[in-house]
Amino acid sequence: MADRRFEAAIFDMDGLILDSEKAVIDCWDIVGERYNLEDIRTFAYSVIGRNVTDTNKMFEERYGTDPGALFIRAEKRKIFKERFEGGLVPLKPYTIELLKKMEMLGMKTALASSSSREDVVYEMSRLGALEYFDAVICGDQVTKSKPDPEIFIKAADLIGLDPSACMGLEDSFNGVKACKAAGLYTVMVPDILQPDDEIKKIPDVIVGSLKDVMELL
């Protein structure tokens, strides 16, 4: 449990407040089968939390440049939009309640997502959550991807606070590593990947849901 008050909270998006990780993995499965990409699910798990640049690089290191990362990601995005643009990827339970409680407590909030700014603004606006964040920084606005701490350090700077004054909320292994390295009090809320023994040592606390996070405040 957090033993002190925090001035702010910095959130990841996919898999933490947006229930999208399973949907994305399903799309990777489809595109992997379509283009004979061996063991695509293992690859998809390995890039959870990473930005587009890192994901593309890792894809081409593993599968080569024919048909290439840009083509495959465009295909995956097309599949995602066809299947999930109709409002089928909702916010995780208690997202708005948690954001409202933080607002009531006078905490600042920031979003630090590896997704593109265009996607983040679109999704969060569509779901009525964008208005609750004081700052948003995305994967195409930083030079290094999670697990590098850059995005969390910049998020804290945008809200005018030292990272040590912030609680960081993450679901992915890469995100947890980045959050902790940035110096935030790190709260892990696992999604499709449960923490292994190595990851369990990194966050300050692991909870089961956003409802549990409310009890930390």
Q: Which structure tokens are listed for 212?
A: 């549990």
- Position 44 scores a pLDDT of 95
HSE, CB side, 13 Å, CA atoms: give it for residue 191: 28
CA distance 72 to 99: 35
pLDDT digits (tens, 9 = 90+) for 48-77: 999 999 999 999 999 999 999 999 999 998
pLDDT digits (tens, 9 = 90+) for 163-194: 999 999 999 999 999 999 999 999 999 999 99
Q: Which residues of 18-54 are buried (b: 16+ CB within 10 A; e: fewer)?
A: bbbbebbbebbbbbbeeeebeebeebbeebbbbbbbb
**What's 111's DSSP letter?**
E
Specify whether the CB–CB gap between 23 and 31 falls below 8 A. Answer: no
Q: How far is CA 11 from CA 17, 18, 68, 78, 115, in A?
A: 8, 11, 31, 26, 13
For the chain, list the strands marked E by DSSP: 8-11, 108-113, 135-138, 166-170, 185-188, 205-206
pTM of the model: 0.90
CA-based radius of gyration for the chain: 17
- Position 77 scores a pLDDT of 87
Specify whether the CB–CB gap between 109 and 102 falls below 8 A. Answer: yes
Q: How far is CA 59 from CA 42, 117, 175, in A?
A: 12, 22, 19
Specify whether the CB–CB gap between 139 and 174 falls below 8 A. Answer: no
Confidence of residue 120 (pLDDT cuts 50, 70, 90): very high
CA distance 16 to 171: 6
Q: CA end-to-end span of the chain, whole Å?
A: 9
pLDDT at 1 over 60: no
